[in-house]
Structure 1
Amino acid sequence: MSKHTVRFTVDLTINQNQFDAFEAIAQTMIAGTQKEPGALGYDWCLSSDRKRCRIVETYADQIAVLAHLTSPVVRELVPKLLQSSSLNRFEVYGDPGPKAAEILAGVGAEIFPLWRGLNR
């Protein structure tokens, strides 16, 4: 991870009998995030029983993080996603910047600033 890159991992449990609704919102969120130039990765991983989902997000820098957090994908679609799932864990890796950190703290995200590492 470069010193400017920021990653999120978001763990969700999909509500019983809500997979189809969850999947429809996920597809819309992916399409919206794909339009964000600073969104480098937005991967949704699903458990084999289709009950748990982990979203792995990668942003180029603090500007890209704030752009995503204030976008319609987050403002409008995340509340809909949480009607069909529940948030278990939200972790942020890297420095999202002060404004984004404030927003993230408000939703219970735990931030892990980059300490040491290697990136190529």
Structure 2
Amino acid sequence: MSNHVYWIIEADVKDGKLDELKSLMVEMSEATKADEPGALNYEWSLSEDEKVCHIFERYTDSDATMVHMGNFGSKFAGRFMGVLKPTACTLYGDPDERVQKAMKPMGYVPMKSAAGFSR
């Protein structure tokens, strides 16, 4: 087991916002890769019809997660919510109380680690 914190967010792409979303996801991915060494995975996926977006994020621990949450809040949250309507969020791993509080607006479903490994 590890101290990793990770989640999958499912969101609907708002009508007429696909091009803006595509630009934003590239910008956010590049910023996260450049500025957040504790980000282990940061992956966006679109459904075939490009109406649904899944975002998979994984961080080394709660401290790294909170760095991301701070950057997201100060740089991207408004634009993110302008192009996507989150419909589900599943939170995995070992998030501390700070992470749980920060993720609360997403209405996450918590899933505690039960078995397995991470490399």
Unaligned ranges ≥5, structure 2: none
| 1:94 pairs with 2:114 | no
> What percentage of aligned pairs have identical amino acids?
25
Corresponding residue number in structure 1 for 2:113: 114
Corresponding residue number in structure 2 for 1:8: 7
- 1:35-62 CA distances to partner (integer Å, 9 max, x unpaired)? 2010011000111111111011111111
Are 2:5 and 2:65, in contact at CA under 8 Å, matched by a contact in 1?
yes
Distance 2:105 2:9 in 1: 15
Corresponding residue number in structure 2 for 1:43: 43
What one-letter code is carried by the residue in structure 2 that aligns with 1:36?
Answer: E
- Aligned to 2:74, what secondary structure does the other structure show? helix
Unaligned ranges ≥5, structure 1: none
- 1:13-43 CA distances to partner (integer Å, 9 max, x unpaired)? 1012210111111111111111201001100
- Aligned to 1:70, what secondary structure does the other structure show? helix
RMSD between superposed Cα atoms in Å = 1.5
Distance 2:105 2:14 in 1: 23
Distance 2:69 2:91 in 1: 13
Distance 1:104 1:90 in 2: 9
Deviation at 1:105, TM superposition (A): 1.5
Corresponding residue number in structure 2 for 1:105: 104
More helix by share: 2
Equivalenced residue count is: 118
What does residue range 21-100 of structure 1 map to in structure 2 within 5 Å? 21-34=20-33, 35-71=35-71, 73-100=72-99
Normalised to the residue count of structure 1, the TM-score between the two structures is 0.89
Question: Which portions of structure 1, spanning 4 or more consecutive aligned residues, are displaced by more than 6 angstroms?
Answer: none
Deviates more, 1:31-40 or 1:98-107: 98-107
Are 2:86 and 2:106, in contact at CA under 8 Å, matched by a contact in 1?
no
